[in-house]
Chains A and B, each alone.
Chain A
Amino acid sequence: MNSVATPLLGGALIGLAVTLMLLFNGRVTGISGILYSSLSRPTQEGLWRWLFLAGLLAGGASVQILRPELLINLSDRNMTAIILAGLLVGYGTVMGSGCTSGHGICGLSRLSVRSLAATVTFMLFGFIAAQVFVYLIGAFA
Chain B
Amino acid sequence: MKYRRYQNLTALIVGLLFAAGLAVSGMTQPQKIINFLTLGPDWDPSLLFVMIGALGVHLVTYPLIRRRRSPLLDTMWHVPTRQDLSPRLIGGSALFGLGWGLAGYCPGPAVTSLASGDLRALAFVFAMVTGMLLFKKTEPLMKLKG
A residues at B contact (CB < 8 Å): 3-4, 6-29, 31-32, 35-36, 39, 44-45, 47-49, 51-64, 67-68, 70-75, 77, 79, 81-101, 103-110, 112-114, 117-119, 121-131, 133-134
Q: Is the CB of B118 within 8 A of A73?
A: yes
Q: How far is the CA of A7 from the CA of B97 in the complex (A)?
A: 21
Closest chain A residue, CB of each to CB of B133: A39
CB distance from B72 to the nearest CB of A (A): 5
Partner of B83, one of A51, A97, A114: A114
Q: A86 and B95: CB pair below 8 A?
A: no
| Neighbouring A residues of B52 by C-beta, 8 Å | 8, 11
Asked whether A130 lies within 8 Å of B14 as measured between CB atoms, the reply is no
Contact B16 A94 (CB under 8 A): no
The interface bits of chain B over 29-52 (1 if a CB of A lies within 8 angstroms of the residue's CB, else 0) are 111001001111000111111111
Q: Does B82 contact A (CB under 8 A)?
A: yes
Closest to B45 in A: A3
Q: A90-B131, A95-B92 are contacts. A31–B24 as well, Cβ < 8 Å?
A: no
How far does the Cβ of A8 sit from chain B's closest Cβ, in whole Å? 4
Expressed in whole angstroms, the minimum distance between the Cβ of A132 and any Cβ of chain B is 8
In contact, A56 and B113 (Cβ under 8 angstroms): no
A selection of 25 A-B contacts at a CB cut-off of 8 Å is A15-B56, A17-B21, A25-B7, A25-B71, A26-B78, A27-B78, A28-B78, A48-B7, A49-B11, A72-B116, A73-B30, A73-B118, A74-B30, A85-B124, A86-B110, A86-B126, A86-B130, A91-B92, A93-B107, A94-B131, A97-B146, A114-B83, A114-B89, A129-B102, A134-B40
Given A51-B15, A130-B38, CB of A11 within 8 Å of CB of B116: no
Q: Is the CB of A31 within 8 A of B116?
A: no
Cα–Cα distance between A25 and B43 once the two chains are bound (Å):
38
**9 additional contacts (CB under 8 A) given A86-B110, A89-B103, A92-B94:** A25-B10, A52-B15, A75-B104, A82-B120, A87-B127, A100-B108, A107-B80, A110-B62, A118-B92
Contact residues in A for B12 (Cβ distance below 8 Å) = 51-52, 54-55
Contact of B99 among A61, A79, A92, A114 (CB under 8 A): A92
Q: How far is the CA of A51 from the CA of B28 in the complex (A)?
A: 20
Q: Is the CB of A55 within 8 A of B16?
A: yes
Docked complex: B118-145 residues within 8 A CB-CB of A: 118-121, 123-136
